[in-house]
Structure 1
Amino acid sequence: MFQHILVAIAFDEEKDPERALQVAAKLADGPTRVTVLHVKDEVPSYAIAYMPEDYDLGLKQAIYDQLSVLAKRFENGRAVLIEGHSGRTILDWAEKNDVDCIVLNSHKPNITDYFLGGTATVVVRHAKCSVHVIR
């Protein structure tokens, strides 16, 4: 079925990663590679100056550790943590890494989504592969 599934994880209360992981497990077949990915927003330079020196490194390690635990659920799973704008970064990573299905959660839209669009909207509109959106 799919050769490489990307599960985009957002660590917030509304987007429980469990459902996305369950869908990916159902879509994965045998040797399917599953990448559990999180896009971390870059800390603005004006803000990082007020944080402890090792803050960003510690945060990255904590997120990566969580991703690694989730990726271990899959026979061919791996964790990836990258920085950038979530929608565009997911799309770029998927294209560069031959992903043929992206699984991600969506949130309940609010007024800002009608003007700017959410991550799921950007991914669905511009992905060059299948996209499975969890509602």
Structure 2
Amino acid sequence: MQKPAKTVWLFGIYLLIEGLFLMLAPSSLLSSIGIPDPESVWRIVIGFVVAVLGYYYIRNAKENLVPFFGFTVQVRIIQFVFFIWLYVFERGTLALVVFSFIEFVAGMWTWNSLKRSRA
């Protein structure tokens, strides 16, 4: 597996774990980012969606679908900006911004790996 694929594969594992936590132990994950547990089925649905995204990342990395890698970088940057926007307008917590910063850094790692693999 080439380095760009490896970065996406690892991020897929991260998403899969995050999704499983949201499905199986939502209170622990949500409280760590300052969001109250809504005690509804939607937290499980979102956990499932995140886990599915993780699966997509893993499968695309295994297939070495390079265009997908670039798309993930774009979305991870947009997500970080969106969570900052939520925080600025008092709809999200600073912990949520910090949490999304991890995804932003992972996106920059993928972008850097893509840039180096093209050189």
TM-score by length of 1: 0.29
Q: Which has the higher contact order (CA 8 A, sep 6+)?
A: 2
Greater percentage in strand: 1
